[in-house]
């Protein structure tokens, strides 16, 4: 049985569990009897606690993966894939109205090449968006107040609160991770597309 080692640039349970579930869903696409070993490590994102643009979200996910790659390389820890996941806000103006979306992004690299994936978007109520964007309250704190609970980030997350528990924070990171891994587990398609374009 082949073991593929994945390092996640966070030790938070929803993020590590999301990557484990994602890996289980595409394991058969790598090789029969593939076993994934997933471990979380705390690294800095290099961005604000609540990113407020798609660019910052992508930068945070990439930075986590690349910082983890460098850290584990220095420690001589062998890993096949490095995953950075980042959640935050994307602000757009649509029909002259500001709309703020919660998004989850993943970046996966093998030490040489890397790819992004997004776990979808859900619109924030304007009152919650205002607290974060105008008053500078971190989303994790704002959603606790908004929902009247404590520690939502480590459970259902803002995704769970906003979707009435139909989509959890973990679900959104799982989808982002599956999307980011696609060029690796579906290499034949991505290779064929590159060959046709070139």
pLDDT band at 193 (very low <50, low <70, confident <90, very high): low
Residue 5 has pLDDT above 80, yes or no: yes
Listing from the earlier edge strand, what are the strands of the sheet with 97-109? 34-40, 2-8, 81-94, 97-109, 114-123
Is the model's pTM score more than 0.95?
no
Query: Which pLDDT belongs to residue 144?
Result: 87
H or E segment at 159? helix 157-162
Residue 6 has pLDDT above 80, yes or no: yes
Structural domains present in the chain = 2-193 (3.90.950.10)
**Each residue of 78-117: b (16+ CB within 10 Å) or e?**
ebbbbbbbbbbbbeeeeeeeeebbbbbbbbbbeeeebbbb
pLDDT band at 156 (very low <50, low <70, confident <90, very high): confident
**Cα gap 21→62, rounded to integer Å:** 20
pLDDT band at 189 (very low <50, low <70, confident <90, very high): confident
SS3 123: strand
Name the more confident of 30 and 46. 46
Name the more confident of 144 and 177. 177
Q: If we measure between CA atoms, which residue out of 111, 109, 65 comes closest to residue 84?
A: 65
* pLDDT tens-digit map of 87-128: 999 999 999 999 999 999 999 999 999 999 999 899 999 999
Provide the token pair at 152. 């939502």
pLDDT band at 195 (very low <50, low <70, confident <90, very high): low
pLDDT band at 188 (very low <50, low <70, confident <90, very high): confident
Provide the token pair at 83. 């995953």
SS3 150: coil
Average pLDDT, rounded, for the chain: 92
Number of other residues whose CB lies within 10 A of the CB of residue 146: 19
């Amino acid at each position: 049985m082949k073991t593929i080692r994945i390092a996640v640039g966070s030790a938070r349970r929803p993020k590590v569990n999301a990557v484990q579930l994602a890996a289980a869903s595409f394991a058969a696409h790598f090789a029969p009897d593939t076993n994934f070993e997933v471990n979380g490590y705390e690294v800095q994102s290099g961005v604000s606690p609540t990113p407020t643009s798609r660019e910052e979200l992508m930068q945070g996910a990439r930075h986590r993966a690349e910082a983890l790659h460098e850290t584990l390389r220095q420690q001589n820890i062998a890993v096949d894939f490095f995953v950075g996941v980042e959640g935050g806000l994307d602000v757009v103006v649509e029909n002259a109205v500001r709309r703020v979306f919660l998004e989850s992004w993943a970046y996966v690299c093998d030490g040489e090449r890397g790819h992004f994936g997004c776990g979808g978007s859900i619109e924030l109520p304007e009152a919650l968006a205002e607290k974060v964007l105008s008053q500078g309250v971190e989303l994790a704190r704002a959603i606790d107040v908004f929902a009247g609970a404590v520690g939502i980030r480590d459970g259902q997350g803002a995704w769970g609160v906003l979707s009435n528990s139909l989509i959890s924070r973990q679900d959104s990171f799982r989808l982002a991770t599956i999307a980011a891994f696609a060029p690796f587990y579906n290499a034949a398609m991505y290779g064929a597309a590159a060959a046709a374009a070139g």
